[in-house]
Amino acid sequence: MKPNFNQLLEGNDLSFEETKALFNACFQEDVSDAELSAILVALKMKQPTAQELAGLADVIHTNSPFQFELDIPAMDNCGTGGDRSNSFNISTCAAFVLAGAGVTVAKHGNRRVSSQTGSADVLEELGIPLDLTKPQIKYILQENNIAFLFAQHVHPTLKQIAGVRQKLRTPTIFNLVGPLTNPVALQSQLIGVYSEEALPIVAKSLQTLGRKRALVIHGAGGMDEASMQGENKYILLANNELKEGTIHPEDVGLSTYTNQEIEGGDAKQNAAILHSVLNGEPGAYLDTVLFNAAIALFATGHVDTIENGVDVARNSVFSGKAKAKLDTLVQYSKEAKQEVV
213 labeled binding residue: no
First to last CA, the chain: 38
Q: Confirm whether residue 165 is marked as ligand binding.
A: yes
Residue 219 assigned to a binding site? no
Whether residue 172 contacts residue 44, with contact meaning beta carbons closer than 8 Å, is answered with yes
181 is in an annotated binding site: no
SS3 of residue 30 by DSSP: coil
Label residue 240 exposed, middle or buried (CB < 10 Å: 0-12, 13-18, 19+).
Answer: exposed
Q: Is 224 annotated as a binding residue?
A: yes
Residue 188 annotated as binding? no
Separation of alpha carbons 110 and 152, rounded Å: 7
Helix (H) or strand (E) holding 125: helix 119-125
146 is in an annotated binding site: no
Mapped onto helix, strand or coil, the DSSP state of residue 95 is helix
- DSSP assigned state of 184: B
- DSSP-derived secondary structure for 201-256: HHHHHHHHTT-SEEEEEEBTTTBSS--SSS-EEEEEEETTEEEEEEE-GGGGT---
Residue 86, annotated as binding a ligand = no
What sign does the CA torsion over 311, 317, 320, 322 have? positive
The residues that bridge with 75 in the sheet, in sequence order, are 105, 188
Q: Is 79 annotated as a binding residue?
A: yes
Q: Which residues neighbour 332 within 8 Å (Cβ) at sequence distance 6 or greater? A: 139, 140, 143, 144
Q: What is the DSSP string of 247-313?
A: E-GGGGT-----GGGGB--SHHHHHHHHHHHHTT--SHHHHHHHHHHHHHHHHHTSSSSHHHHHHHH
Question: Is 87 labelled as part of a ligand binding site?
Answer: yes
71 is in an annotated binding site: no
Question: What is the DSSP annotation of 10-26?
Answer: TTPPPPHHHHHHHHHHH
Q: Could you list the residues known to form a binding site for anthranilate, using ranges.
A: 79, 110, 165
Which residue numbers belong to the known binding site for 5-phospho-alpha-D-ribose 1-diphosphate? Answer: 79, 82-83, 87, 89-92, 107-115, 119
Query: Which residues are part of a known binding site?
Result: 79, 82-83, 87, 89-92, 107-115, 119, 165, 224-225
Annotated binding-site ranges for Mg(2+): 91, 224-225
